[in-house]
């Protein structure tokens, strides 16, 4: 279990993300030497001017994409949790795309096989470029800690006014 | 760089032609010569306008082309450069060059679809929209979209074509009804606002342009480009963009007000007693819910406001200084919630919010002077400061209802129709309404406004900076300043041709050197800083050539009536300021000399040779032959 909790993935803070799509550019530049969001492993969604977020692979425990693949083309790395695609086995059927709750795995427009975030060998390019520092390379534990701290701060708004250094 | 006959880096290498009368479309390659000489954006757009717009046509004639361009940076990661697009046509306001840029996500999509420019000619028989899906271009029925706002149109098109990532630029009811200040709006809150481009689009029965692009955009030197972008990202975190990242342009309210250079109540005053209530500080404190960014931007500026309570509760819109000023202090309005509502209505109808506010203020001035009555307004008491009147008049203008039908013509033409001395209240230059800088007390800026090729505008030169920052005595014009205005103009045309955002202009520390470097890294076309400067000058000259060809000249490089006849009355740092006829003449003489133009403001043959514009010599020969 511990190994799962150590897995880090890229997560966007909805409070900070402004929908600029710099992450998409950084990803396709790093991975494919071109600018094209269709070749990015992270995608930005703006549903309303106030609702912006970038989404990429969450390295799910027991990932539904792997389970959905009828050709055993997908496996999850035991080392860092990324989804490995066997491009010889994948035929682009799209079952994994349908299975993913986050739209994180998609069909590559040229190769016609699926592709997904591989964390850039542990140093994600998108995180480095995000001008808003909205992207974090974190474990689910750290995300939970942050959420707890935010929740507690909201509960103690009055007290916080008297202890400005928290 | 050219490979296999087409440009491959930065540019898409193609121009799309659409004829709405015949329904035919075709593409042609973009030549490297055109790219190098005119860059893209408004530069390329104005050059294409000279070629494709016959002399003397009515702006609403099917022969007036609506030209949509991207820049060489569109679709790349260049900060703020990835997202721009421009519309160019003969303006139904100035009858000269019309041009307006917008940012957001539309331009980047058009580049990925594979086009540097789209030239739309003719007129469709019935309402249509253009659907550009990479190489497939279709003209589709838009009957069901007619009457919808740009935001509704965008949603409807995405829904019916079934692709969330489609980007749409469209007109609202105002463009359909040929309201002369109509805008073309993309991404819901981003407007190509000025000079009536939306009305030209409406005259073609063209409701919207929907785009989906899936192609790669490549740059010539990826490593060098990446380094440059990294440097720009760092600069964008610094002081050059702080204003835009924090309070935003509404910060200007208190700055302008303190100097008494904010036109108030249709130029009756230059100072607003209630400025604190409509300040950028107040806007941010009470209404700004989130600041979002355009595609590829590393600083983000778009202040999204939400009205939390009161009669305008639930209104959501973007806000900047110019609309805030025009719909607020310029109409004597001291309520931010009403200003936000009025802005939202401008987006709903698809109108330039600056011009809309200036027109309402003109109408209010007419009312206060007894030129227009309550009956003329259909029962509205249109005093300055009446926020309900503001909202109602914008509604009427957007629908061309009642008095709105006259106001929809813009202040110049409205005054011609109303008569009774109202032309003295019509604050415009070349038929385009003024913006939020009091030209009586900002005299370097006044020159910039007078000679701007698209009419009254701060964004063709930015020369208010010299006055407001105290580089020059803002109350007195001195010979020699035209050089500074010219240099700014030449930079601004490059900014609008590469299409980078003006909010980021301060991050190009080395000016033309930085522009040239970014251009070369992106396109592989080697350009020096000096060539880039010359290109900026060339673009200003072709814009002037178009205006000269259409009959505009020195007489049109004028200032609004009140700027020259109504000295600032307010006690304070600008009291008594105005621009005299002698002063304006001195400004123009100074400027034409620096530009290498004749006393009548016609580019000389020598100047055309210097800039490689010999092909347009006939335009000036005809005029100079007449003694200009």
To the nearest 10°, report the CA torsion of B176, B556, B406, B323. Answer: 70
Beta-carbon neighbour count of residue A121 at 10 Å? 7
Task: Give dist(CA A111, CA B136) in Å, integer.
Answer: 22
Task: Let me know whether A28 and A105 are in one domain.
Answer: no
Task: Give dist(CA B608, CA B611) in Å, integer.
Answer: 5
Task: Let me know whether B263 and B374 are in one domain.
Answer: yes
In this predicted structure, what is the pLDDT of residue A1?
A: 45
Nearest by CB to A49, from B76, B189, B217: name it: B189
Q: pLDDT tens-digit profile of B241-285?
A: 999 989 999 999 999 999 999 999 999 999 999 999 999 999 999
Task: Give dist(CA B257, CA B259) in Å, integer.
Answer: 5
Task: Let me know whether B382 and B516 are in one domain.
Answer: no
**Residue B49 contacts residue B197 (beta carbons within 8 Å):** no
Give all strands (DSSP E) within B84-212, no chain letters: 85-90, 97-102, 117-121, 128-133, 136-141, 167-170, 184-186, 190-192, 206-212
Within 8 A of A25 by CB-CB distance, chain B residues are: 76-77, 82, 296
B187 backbone φψ class: left, alpha, beta (φ>0; ψ -120 to 50): left
Nearest by CB to B290, from A32, A50, A131: name it: A50
Residue B282: burial class (beta carbons within 10 Å; 0-12, 13-18, 19+): middle
In this predicted structure, what is the pLDDT of residue A3?
A: 56
Within 8 A of A18 by CB-CB distance, chain B residues are: 290-293, 297, 300
Which residues neighbour B186 within 8 Å (Cβ) at sequence distance 6 or greater?
B85, B102, B104, B105, B106, B150, B154, B167, B168, B169, B170, B192
Task: Let me know whether A7 and A35 are in one domain.
Answer: yes
Average pLDDT over residues B67-87: 94
Residue B239 falls inside a structural domain: no
Average pLDDT over residues B184-201: 96
Contact at CB, B216 and A20, closer than 8 angstroms = no
The percentage of residues in chain B with a pLDDT greater than 90, rounded to a whole number, is 95
CATH number where B588 lies: 1.10.599.10
DSSP lists the bridge partners of residue B211 as B132, B167
Task: Give dist(CA B41, CA B30) in Å, integer.
Answer: 13
pLDDT band at A153 (very low <50, low <70, confident <90, very high): confident
Q: How far is B135 from chain A (nearest CA, A)?
A: 16
Nearest CA in chain B to A28: B216
Q: pLDDT tens-digit profile of B141-173?
A: 999 999 999 999 999 999 999 999 999 999 999
Residue B224 falls inside a structural domain: no
Nearest by CB to B222, from A33, A39, A49: name it: A33
pLDDT band at A4 (very low <50, low <70, confident <90, very high): low
Task: Let me know whether A78 and A2 are in one domain.
Answer: no
Task: Let me know whether B590 and B500 are in one domain.
Answer: yes
Nearest by CB to B292, from A19, A37, A38: name it: A19
Average pLDDT over residues B187-194: 95
Residue B88 falls inside a structural domain: yes
Q: Which of B166, B183, B212 is the last residue of a domain?
A: B212
DSSP secondary structure letter of residue B182: B
Contact at CB, B237 and A39, closer than 8 angstroms = no
Task: Let me know whether B266 and B397 are in one domain.
Answer: yes
Task: Give dist(CA B101, CA B86) in Å, integer.
Answer: 4
Beta-carbon neighbour count of residue B95 at 10 Å? 20
Task: Let me know whether A72 and A89 are in one domain.
Answer: yes
Q: Does position B103 have pLDDT exceeding 50, yes or no? A: yes
Residue B434 falls inside a structural domain: no
Specify the residue for token string 């591989």. Answer: A118
Task: Give dist(CA B359, CA B330) in Å, integer.
Answer: 10
Task: Let me know whether B279 and B365 are in one domain.
Answer: yes
Task: Let me know whether A80 and A103 are in one domain.
Answer: yes
Q: Does position B628 have pLDDT exceeding 60, yes or no? A: no
Q: How far is CA B277 from CA B244, B272, B324, B335, B336, in A?
A: 20, 10, 12, 7, 7
Task: Let me know whether B207 and B269 are in one domain.
Answer: no
Residue A166 falls inside a structural domain: no
Nearest CA in chain B to A27: B77
Residue B157 falls inside a structural domain: yes
Give the mean pLDDT of chain A.
92
Task: Let me know whether B314 and B280 are in one domain.
Answer: yes
Give all strands (DSSP E) within B233-353, no chain letters: 288-292, 302-306, 316-318
Q: How far is B217 from chain A (nearest CA, A)?
A: 5
**Residue B94 contacts residue B430 (beta carbons within 8 Å):** yes
Residue A153 falls inside a structural domain: no
Task: Let me know whether A52 and A3 are in one domain.
Answer: yes
Task: Let me know whether B50 and B115 are in one domain.
Answer: yes
Residue A49 falls inside a structural domain: yes
Residue A149 falls inside a structural domain: no
Specify the residue for token string 């929740």. Answer: A151
Task: Give dist(CA B64, CA B179) in Å, integer.
Answer: 17
**Residue B474 contacts residue B442 (beta carbons within 8 Å):** yes
Q: pLDDT tens-digit profile of A45-84?
A: 998 889 999 999 999 999 999 999 999 999 999 999 999 9
Within 8 A of B233 by CB-CB distance, chain A residues are: 129, 131
Q: How far is CA B558 from CA A166, B97, B427, B435, B439, in A?
A: 59, 16, 11, 15, 12
Task: Let me know whether B373 and B471 are in one domain.
Answer: no
Average pLDDT over residues B518-546: 98
In this predicted structure, what is the pLDDT of residue B17?
A: 98
Give the mean pLDDT of chain B.
96
Task: Give dist(CA B439, CA B424) in Å, integer.
Answer: 16
Nearest by CB to A29, from B77, B214, B291: name it: B77
- What is the domain range of residue A74? 60-116
Q: pLDDT tens-digit profile of B386-434?
A: 999 999 999 999 999 999 999 999 999 999 999 999 999 999 999 999 9
Residue B222 falls inside a structural domain: no
- The token duo for A19 is 């929908």
Q: Which of B420, B455, B481 is the last residue of a domain?
A: B420
DSSP secondary structure letter of residue B269: B
In this predicted structure, what is the pLDDT of residue A161?
A: 76
CATH number where A101 lies: 3.30.70.20
Average pLDDT over residues B81-89: 92
Task: Let me know whether B91 and B35 are in one domain.
Answer: yes
Which residues neighbour B293 within 8 Å (Cβ) at sequence distance 6 or greater?
A18, A19, A20, A132, B299, B300, B301, B302
Average pLDDT over residues B221-228: 97
**For chain B, how many structural domains are there in total?**
3
Task: Let me know whether B416 and B483 are in one domain.
Answer: no
Task: Let me know whether B269 and B146 are in one domain.
Answer: no
DSSP lists the bridge partners of residue B292 as B302
**For chain A, how many structural domains are there in total?**
2
- The ipTM (two decimal places) reads 0.92
Q: How far is A131 from chain B (nearest CA, A)?
A: 5
In this predicted structure, what is the pLDDT of residue B626?
A: 66
In this predicted structure, what is the pLDDT of residue B416?
A: 98
Q: Does position A164 have pLDDT exceeding 70, yes or no? A: no
DSSP-based three-state secondary structure for B190: strand
Contact at CB, B300 and A131, closer than 8 angstroms = yes
Task: Let me know whether A7 and A51 are in one domain.
Answer: yes
- What is the domain range of residue B545? 443-625
């Amino acid at each position: 279990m511990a190994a799962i909790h150590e897995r880090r993935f890229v997560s966007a803070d909805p409070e900070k993300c402004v929908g600029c799509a710099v992450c998409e550019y950084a990803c396709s530049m790093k991975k494919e030497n071109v600018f094209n969001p269709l070749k990015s492993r992270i995608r930005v969604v703006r549903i309303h001017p106030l609702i912006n977020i970038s989404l990429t692979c969450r390295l799910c425990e027991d990932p539904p994409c792997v389970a959905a693949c009828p050709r055993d083309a997908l496996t999850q790395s035991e080392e860092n949790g990324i989804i490995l695609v066997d491009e010889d086995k994948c035929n682009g059927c799209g079952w994994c795309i349908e299975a993913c709750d986050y739209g994180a795995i998609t069909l590559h427009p040229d190769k016609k096989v699926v592709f997904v975030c591989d964390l850039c060998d542990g140093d994600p390019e998108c995180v480095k470029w995000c001008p808003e520092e909205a992207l974090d390379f974190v474990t689910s534990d750290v995300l939970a800690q942050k959420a707890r701290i935010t929740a507690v701060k909201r509960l103690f708004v009055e007290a916080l006014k008297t202890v400005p250094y928290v | 760089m050219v490979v296999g006959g087409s440009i491959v880096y930065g540019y898409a290498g193609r121009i799309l032609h659409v004829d709405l009368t015949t329904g035919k479309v075709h593409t042609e390659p973009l030549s490297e010569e055109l790219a190098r000489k005119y860059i893209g954006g408004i530069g390329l757009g104005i050059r294409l306008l000279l070629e494709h717009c016959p002399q003397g046509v009515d702006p609403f004639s099917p022969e007036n082309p609506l030209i949509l361009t991207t820049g060489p940076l569109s679709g790349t990661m260049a900060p703020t450069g990835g997202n721009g697009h421009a519309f160019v046509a003969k303006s139904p306001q100035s009858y000269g060059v019309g041009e307006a840029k917008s940012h957001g996500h539309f331009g980047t999509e058009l580049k990925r679809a594979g086009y540097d420019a789209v030239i739309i000619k003719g007129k469709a028989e019935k309402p249509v929209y253009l659907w550009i899906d990479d190489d497939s271009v279709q003209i589709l029925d838009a009957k069901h979209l007619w009457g919808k706002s740009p935001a509704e149109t965008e949603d409807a098109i995405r829904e019916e074509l079934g692709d969330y990532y489609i980007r749409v630029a469209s007109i609202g009811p105002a463009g359909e009804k040929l309201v002369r200040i109509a805008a073309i709006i993309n991404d819901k809150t981003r407007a190509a606002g000025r000079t009536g481009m939306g009305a030209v689009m409406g005259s073609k029965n063209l409701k919207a342009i929907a785009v989906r692009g899936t192609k790669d955009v490549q740059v010539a030197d990826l490593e060098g480009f990446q380094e440059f972008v990294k440097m720009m990202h760092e600069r964008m975190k610094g002081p050059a963009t702080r204003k835009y990242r924090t309070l935003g342009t509404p910060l200007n309210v208190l700055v302008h007000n303190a100097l008494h250079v904010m036109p108030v109540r249709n130029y009756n005053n230059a100072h607003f007693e209630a400025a604190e209530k409509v300040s950028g500080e107040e806007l941010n404190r009470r209404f700004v819910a989130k600041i979002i960014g355009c595609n590829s931007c590393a600083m983000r500026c778009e202040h999204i406001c939400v009205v939390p309570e009161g009669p305008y509760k639930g209104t959501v819109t973007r806000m900047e200084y110019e609309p805030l000023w025009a719909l607020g202090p310029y109409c004597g309005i001291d309520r931010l919630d009403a200003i936000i509502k009025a802005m939202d209505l401008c987006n709903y109808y698809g109108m330039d919010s600056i011009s809309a506010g200036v027109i309402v203020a003109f109408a209010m001035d007419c009312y206060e002077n007894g030129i227009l009555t309550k009956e003329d307004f259909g029962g509205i008491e249109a005093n300055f400061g009446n926020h309900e009147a503001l909202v109602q008049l914008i509604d009427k203008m957007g629908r061309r209802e009642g008095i709105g039908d006259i106001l929809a013509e813009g202040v110049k033409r409205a005054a011609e129709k109303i008569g009774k001395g109202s032309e003295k209240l019509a604050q415009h230059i070349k038929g385009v309404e003024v913006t939020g800088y009091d030209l009586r007390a900002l005299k370097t800026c006044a020159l910039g406004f007078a000679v701007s090729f698209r009419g009254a505008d701060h964004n063709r030169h930015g020369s208010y900076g010299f006055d407001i920052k105290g580089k020059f005595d803002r109350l007195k014009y001195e010979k020699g300043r035209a050089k500074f205005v010219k240099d700014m103009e030449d930079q601004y045309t490059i900014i609008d041709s590469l299409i980078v955002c003006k909010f980021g202009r301060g991050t190009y520390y080395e000016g033309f050197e930085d522009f040239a470097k970014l251009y070369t890294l992106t396109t592989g076309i080697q350009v020096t800083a000096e060539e880039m400067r010359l290109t900026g000058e060339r673009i200003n000259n072709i814009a002037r050539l178009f205006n000269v060809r259409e009959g505009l000249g020195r007489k049109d490089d004028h200032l609004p009536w009140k700027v020259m006849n109504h000295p600032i009355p307010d006690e304070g740092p600008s009291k008594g300021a105005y621009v005299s006829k002698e002063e304006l003449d001195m400004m123009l003489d100074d400027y034409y000399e620096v530009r290498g133009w004749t006393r009548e403001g016609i580019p000389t043959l020598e100047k055309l040779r210097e800039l490689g514009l010999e092909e347009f010599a006939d335009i000036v020969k005809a005029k100079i032959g007449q003694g200009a």
